[in-house]
Each structure stands twice: as C-alpha cells, then as structure tokens.
C-alpha cells in the first residue's frame, strides 16, 4: 500500500504487532500536528487519550472529539488529519487484513460513533 500511514507519516504511526490476519498500529501526536493523506483498511480504533481532530479528504471535512477508552469501528478510508485540540493524541488501530465483503455507497470519514 503506497499510502500506508507508517510510510507517509512514520514519525506518528508505529507497527506494534502484525500477523497474517491483523496489523496493530500505535498513533501519537501533539496539538497542531498534521498527517499527510494516507489510507486505513477496515479497523477497530481504541482511543487511549481524549482528543480533537479535523479529518479531510478532497473538499470534505469532519471534526471529531473522542474521549479516552472508546473502541470504535473505522471503515476503510483515505484521509489526512490535524490535531486541532489542546491535548496529545494516543490511539491504537487494529487493522483487518481480510477484504470487506461490501463497499460503502459513499466515502466514509472518521469513526462510526
């Protein structure tokens, strides 16, 4: 994947575990940090800290405020992000390597809450 976040933003994303079925990424940033465009497959996101982000793809934007301790579904998507809050972001992504059986009708941006 050429838009793999560990390649596009290696200072922010770290692989902490991987096998033939999942890859687990740790993400950390500080207020004001931004990511370049990257993609996530279907994933489970676990927030370890509360944070505020602005996610963007094309001309679509979405701001999300998440509390610590959430486990949410993150449908496959491509986006860039910016920490627009006053706290650091710390989250874990459990990326599924199996292909989705259906494709969403419209692009998704951010987690499904």
Are 13 and 7 contacting, i.e. CB atoms less than 8 angstroms apart? Answer: no
Q: Is residue 113 part of a domain?
A: no
CA 31 to chain centre: 16
pLDDT number for residue 15: 98
What pLDDT was estimated at residue 109?
65
Confidence (pLDDT) at 100:
61
Q: Are 34 and 81 in contact (CB under 8 A)?
A: yes
With a cut of 50, which residues of the chain have pLDDT below it?
1
Number of domains in the chain: 1
**What CATH number corresponds to the domain at position 83?**
2.60.120.10
According to the model, what pLDDT value does residue 108 have? 66
In a domain, 33, yes or no: yes
Q: Mention every residue, 6+ apart, whose C-beta is less than 8 A from residue 76.
A: 39, 40, 41, 42, 43, 100, 108
Determine the structural domain holding residue 54 and report its residue range: 5-96
User: Which pTM value belongs to this model?
Assistant: 0.85
Tokens 């979405």 -> residue: 62
Domain-embedded: residue 87: yes
């Amino acid at each position: 994947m050429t838009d793999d976040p560990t390649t596009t933003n290696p200072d922010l994303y770290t692989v902490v575990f991987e096998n033939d079925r999942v890859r687990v990424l740790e993400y950390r940033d500080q207020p004001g940090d931004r990511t370049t465009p990257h993609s996530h497959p279907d994933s489970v996101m676990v927030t370890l800290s509360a944070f505020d982000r602005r996610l963007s793809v094309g001309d679509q934007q979405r701001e999300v405020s998440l509390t610590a301790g959430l486990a949410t579904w993150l449908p496959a998507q491509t986006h860039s992000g910016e920490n627009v809050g006053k706290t650091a972001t710390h989250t874990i992504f459990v990326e599924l390597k199996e292909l989705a059986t259906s494709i969403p009708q419209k692009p998704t941006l951010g987690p499904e809450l």
